Structure 1
Amino acid sequence: MNITAITQLEEEHYQLLLDADPSKKHVDDYTKRGQVFIISDPKLVGIMVLIPTRPDTLELVNIAVAEASRGKGYAQKLIAFAFDTAKKQGIKTMEIGTGSTGYEQLHLYQKCGFRMTWIDRDFFVRHYDEEIVDNGIVLNDMVRLSIDL
């Protein structure tokens, strides 16, 4: 298993990123502003993007693991790597946001130590042109979580 930074996105990277965020416009925006890391074992199994948002704060804006590789701890390894990376940069707080209907994601993030901080009501209605359905429910709200490092 290997986690590395990348600066150029290939089609396989986009496929994973767009699985977690269906807006290519949003993905292009935050990948240009952030650090992109991939996890390989030995082939690509996951990806994440970290961006600075405020002084001493880093946001994990996208994390995705290939469907065939889910449930094997890759997302937890990426998150642990994100924590280590943030600490080395002197970051004090890590944030993440996810859809309110993403039960598996909410479970994972809390298992990794994130705590819910607030709900951004109608986030997905305001920021996405197309309706998003997740777990059979129309996605409206984003749950914001954070952890002090």
Structure 2
Amino acid sequence: MDLNVEEYTGPHRDLDWSFREADDSEALIDAYIDSGRLWVARAAGGVIIGHLHAVPREGEVWEVTNTAVVESQRGRGAGRALLERAIAEARTVGVRRLILATATADVGNLRFYQRCGFRMTRVVQDVFTPANGYPSGLEIDGVPLRDQVWFERLL
């Protein structure tokens, strides 16, 4: 795949459609979208097919708060290229650890992050609820969306 990964310098909200690919909570997206750094993957012709958003946290830690690749382009290396770019940038500025969370119901994401060198650190129950801005009844491949798993990768 002909792919270019670059830092996005425009307003992050220009890509809110892509943030919604990975997060169903408008309230949570609204809380973090304007912070941190944002990289995009562009296919041939310059079309944005995915993004990765990372926010500095306490100490030498960045949290990957949102990453997505449009469905038609998944499984072709864009997600890994975005993650590798964020890791390289993090190392450049002295970040020692990346953290991120995903749904326990999303087996594809669980496998992907482990293949990219991340380790599970904890599970938080009942994150994906209406109280946290998520619609009720969400499922991933027939598995109810309830709990969240946290990962880390030491750099």
User: Identity of paired residues, percent?
Assistant: 26
Q: Which amino acid aligns with 1:36?
A: L
| 1:80-104 deviation line (CA, Å, top 9, x unaligned) | 1111011011000000100000110
Could you say which residue in structure 1 is the equivalent of 2:133?
128
Q: Which amino acid aligns with 1:5?
A: E
| Unaligned segments of structure 2, at least 5 residues | none
Residue 20 of structure 1 is matched in structure 2 by 22
Q: CA RMSD in A?
A: 1.4
Q: 2 CA distance for matches of 1:129 and 1:114?
A: 26
Worse-superposed segment, 14-23 or 128-137: 128-137
For each residue in 1:17-62, what CA deviation from the matched residue of structure 2 results, as whole angstroms up to 9, or x when unmatched? 1011012222222121211111101211111110012210001111
Paired residue for 2:143, among 137, 141, 144? 137
| Structure number with higher relative contact order (C-alpha < 8 Å, ≥ 6 residues apart) | 2
**Equivalent of 1:146, from 133, 147, 152?**
152
TM value normalised by structure 1: 0.92
Unaligned runs of 5+ in 1: none
Give the Å deviation of 1:129. 4.1
Structure 1 runs of 4+ with >4 Å offset: none
Counterpart secondary structure, 1:123 = coil
Cα 1:87–1:67, aligned 2, differ >3 Å: closer, same or farther?
Answer: same
Q: Which residue of 2 aligns with 1:8?
A: 11
Is 1:30 the counterpart of 2:32 in the alignment? yes
- SS of the counterpart of 2:40? strand
Corresponding residue SS for 1:32 = coil
CA distance in 1, matches of 2:73, 2:20: 16
Tell me the amino acid that sits aligned with residue 82 of structure 2.
Answer: L
**Partner SS for 2:84:** helix
- Equivalent positions of 1:35-50 (< 5 A) are 35-42=37-44, 43-50=47-54
Aligned residues: 148
| Equivalent residue in structure 2 for 1:64, among 64, 68, 87 | 68
